[in-house]
Structure 1
Amino acid sequence: MARWWRPVLLVTLVAAGSAVLLVTGWPTVEGVRATTASAGWAAPVLFTLLFVGFTLVPAPATVMGIAAGVLFGLPVGLATTMTAVAVGSLIGFVLSRTLGREVVAGIGGARIRRLDARLRRGGLWAVAGGRLLPVIPFPVLSYACGLTAIRLRDYLAGSVLGVAPSAVAFVTIGAYGGDPASVPFVAAVAGLVLLTGAALVAGRRRRRRTEPGAAPPVPVG
């Protein structure tokens, strides 16, 4: 029983962060602007710290990406967004690995061993796919990966690669929102439509694979 205090602490921390978010309300672009406006030259740093916090709880991080573009423009906004993504991914992973991995490894089981082996081999691309198609909420994937045997470098690289396309799109929308007929804005919206469509297709295929009584694939040849 002594080893269970760590996962209980992890769940408590996430629940506490979620409760604070519910009490203070969901972030808005105007709210983020008001929070960072008085920070002066340190505004990007303060914004990045706020963004990191939102990556650790079930918050609409897309709002922060758009806010980054509104506040800082495309280059600085994208830099702050990707920095927050990398730092938030790292913190979520380390918390989960430190507080929960030992219990999961102790449970054992053939399925967990197969999953660990698969993630050791191709963890980078598995994480990149999970981040690219937002079927799984950002913090959920961070904590779930920390419970597995995936290598930290593969996890971080996959997170950055997977988030980059949507981050570019959201920051661009924020930066060029005042000119919705501009080429960057239209391209960003089109990219998001493609990503959303791909996520819907991926989610539908996943549900079909997990439905009870689903027919096995028919061999070809």
Structure 2
Amino acid sequence: MDESTATRPDADRRTSSRTAIVVKAVTLAVFVALAVTVGMLVDLPELEEIQQTVADLGPAAVFAFIGAYGLITLTPAPKAVLSMAAGAVFGFWAAVPIVIAGAMIGATAAFFLGQLLGRSAVEHFIGPKVEKIDRLLSRRGLVAVIGVRMVPVIPFTAINYASGLTGLRRRDYLLGTAIGMMPGIAAYVAIGAFGFDLDWPFWLALGSLGVLTVGAGLFAWRWKKHDEDSDDESDGERA
């Protein structure tokens, strides 16, 4: 067997692998493009329309809202508006678990979609963010997930898709997501539930969002500094 014959299978495998990566990357690009288009072109309903729909559906409105929230979570469309609408329609104590359920459905679906498409395809599409998310989440696991969810330094949707490609354990992702989302969701739901009264719960919710925003800035600064220090150490080791 000559050398060209021996190396042909390896070349074929590399070509096949590259083709698979391109196909997956294109699939992800099309999916995200469609999601963005839907998020930009489809207007979220007004509060009065949601209230009327809830009245028409009765108990089924809860499941309809959870499903809709889960689907919207797969897109970059703003979720805070729906969280506030849930508070206005269902009331604070009912809306919080409803919104969390919808957000978890979307976050879980995006996690498994990222796994299905593969790391190479997603890296090809969104670039170095996957590597940064991998370093952050794989090293600190559950604590890191709670941190980025509670004070998000990376967009919610990006974390969902990229987390499926990291070394993060599935249990840590799901538990950390559920815990980390609670403060922000509770604050947005409270604004919707108590915003019309402008009573102390509304101002407490508004203040909580302010604290989370400041915390997000500090967390982002420390994470960026830590990331730069890690890169410097890696460059020094290679030198």
By the TM > 0.5 criterion, same fold? yes
Query: What residue in structure 2 maps to residue 125 of structure 1?
Result: 143
Q: CA deviation at 1:118?
A: 6.6
User: Which structure has the larger Rg over C-alpha atoms?
Assistant: 2
8 A contact 2:73–2:157 mirrored in 1? yes
SS in structure 1 of the partner of residue 201 of structure 2: helix
Q: CA deviation at 1:102?
A: 6.1
CA distance in 2, matches of 1:115, 1:61: 22
Query: What residue in structure 2 maps to residue 55 of structure 1?
Result: 73
Query: What residue in structure 2 maps to residue 77 of structure 1?
Result: 95
Letter in 2 for 1:184: P
Letter in 1 for 2:208: G
Q: CA deviation at 1:31?
A: 5.1
Query: What residue in structure 1 maps to residue 211 of structure 2?
Result: 194
Query: What residue in structure 2 maps to residue 148 of structure 1?
Result: 166
8 A contact 2:73–2:106 mirrored in 1? yes
8 A contact 2:133–2:162 mirrored in 1? no
SS in structure 2 of the partner of residue 178 of structure 1: coil
Query: What residue in structure 2 maps to residue 44 of structure 1?
Result: 62
- CA gap 1:31/1:140 in 2 versus in 1, 3 angstroms: farther
Q: TM-score, normalised by structure 2?
A: 0.75
CA distance in 2, matches of 1:117, 1:138: 17
Letter in 1 for 2:150: L
8 A contact 1:10–1:95 mirrored in 2? no
Q: CA deviation at 1:117?
A: 7.6
Instruction: Name the Cα RMSD after superposition.
Output: 3.0
Aligned residue pairs total: 208
Structure 2 residues without counterparts, runs of 5 or longer:
1-17, 124-129, 234-239
Query: What residue in structure 2 maps to residue 25 of structure 1?
Result: 43
Letter in 1 for 2:189: V
Q: CA deviation at 1:64?
A: 1.1
Letter in 2 for 1:188: A
Q: CA deviation at 1:39?
A: 1.9
Query: What residue in structure 1 maps to residue 194 of structure 2?
Result: 176
Q: TM-score, normalised by structure 1?
A: 0.81
CA distance in 2, matches of 1:28, 1:140: 27
CA distance in 2, matches of 1:163, 1:125: 13
8 A contact 2:40–2:77 mirrored in 1? no
SS in structure 2 of the partner of residue 38 of structure 1: helix
Structure 1 residues without counterparts, runs of 5 or longer:
106-111, 217-221
Query: What residue in structure 2 maps to residue 98 of structure 1?
Result: 116
